[in-house]
């Protein structure tokens, strides 16, 4: 299906990073893009630059999302908004759990609930859920994020089953490390954060993720690109650790001393 077969798109988390890059990429294809984010200044600047339609909405605001979904028939849905509070689950706060579940999973479920049935009815649509390699692989210190992204991965699979027989395509995008400002949002706006996560690494750019999404959307209608893992060439997932009892006890005590 070429881009000309789609007319409207909804992009969440659109004010910066991957979301903003996706807005720019879709606007380049003359798609009417409705961009959602909480940051009014950044969103309005994006609207001025790209011609997208800005909506200053928190994705957890179910009433506002429902009003928008009821007023526009969306052909493309890009679920991109997300937050993170990196820590081990043994150190998690109740607020951490609620925030990540509300933004990264509950909001995605409700937005799909409000928009995908219309796609099924019209026999046309494409859902792109931007998940993470954290939904497929385990690595330490980010347990809640892993859990909610796994939920998004399973939702992506289930949506295809629930829409079976209709030309509604679902793509899950699983980025690894990408050169965006998400690390500053998560770890603080400090030069050391950029040095730790960005400087000196060869990383995909937000525009690379946007191009991959455009590739999936522009594929013929008979083609559903269901899952993409997009990582730096010099990043790998996986690993195996085995601890001696005395070593694991020492690590646990050291972690406790940091709290």
Domain containing 103 equals 3-258
Active site residue 145: yes
Of 131, 124, 176, 123, nearest to 155 (Cα)?
A: 131
Task: Report the CATH number at residue 92.
Answer: 3.40.50.720
Rounded to 5 degrees, φ, ψ at 176 are: -90, -140
pLDDT of residue 181: 67
Q: How many domains does the chain have?
A: 1
- Of 227, 226, 188, 182, nearest to 206 by C-alpha is 182
Q: What percent of the chain shows pLDDT beyond 90?
A: 72
Q: How confident is the model at residue 210 (pLDDT cuts 50, 70, 90)?
A: very high
Q: Give me the helix-helix angle, 17-27 and 206-218, nearest 10°.
A: 50
pLDDT band at 196 (very low <50, low <70, confident <90, very high): low
pLDDT category, 239, cuts 50, 70, 90?
confident
R_g of the chain computed on alpha carbons: 19
Q: Which residues on neighbouring strands pair with residue 170, listed in sequence order?
A: 127
pLDDT given at position 251: 60
pTM value is: 0.89
Of these residues, 6, 137, 145, 252, which one is catalytic? 145
Q: Which of residues 130 and 1 earns the better pLDDT score?
A: 130
Query: Quick check: 172 and 129 in contact, CB under 8 A?
Result: yes
């Amino acid at each position: 299906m070429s881009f000309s077969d789609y007319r409207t798109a909804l992009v969440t988390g659109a004010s910066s990073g991957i979301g903003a890059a996706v807005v720019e990429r879709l606007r380049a294809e003359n798609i009417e893009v409705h961009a959602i984010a909480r940051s009014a200044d950044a969103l309005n600047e994006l609207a001025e630059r790209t011609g997208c339609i800005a909506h200053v909405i928190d994705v957890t605001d179910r009433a506002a999302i429902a009003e928008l979904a009821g007023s526009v028939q969306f052909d493309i849905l890009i679920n991109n908004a997300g937050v993170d509070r990196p820590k081990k689950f043994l150190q998690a706060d109740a607020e951490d759990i609620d925030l990540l579940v509300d933004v990264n999973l509950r909001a995605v479920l409700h937005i799909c609930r409000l928009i995908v049935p219309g796609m099924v009815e019209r026999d046309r649509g494409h859902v792109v859920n931007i998940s993470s390699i954290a939904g497929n692989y385990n690595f330490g210190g980010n347990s809640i994020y892993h859990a909610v992204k796994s939920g998004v991965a399973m939702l992506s699979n289930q949506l295809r089953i629930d829409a079976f027989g209709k030309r509604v395509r679902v793509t899950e995008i699983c980025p690894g490390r990408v050169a965006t400002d998400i690390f500053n949002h998560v770890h603080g706006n400090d030069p050391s954060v950029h040095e730790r996560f960005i400087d000196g690494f060869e990383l995909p750019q937000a525009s690379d993720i946007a191009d991959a999404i455009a590739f999936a959307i522009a594929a013929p209608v008979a083609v559903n690109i269901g899952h993409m893992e997009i990582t730096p060439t010099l990043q790998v997932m996986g690993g195996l650790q085995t601890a001696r009892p005395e070593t694991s006890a020492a690590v646990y005590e050291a972690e406790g001393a940091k709290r």
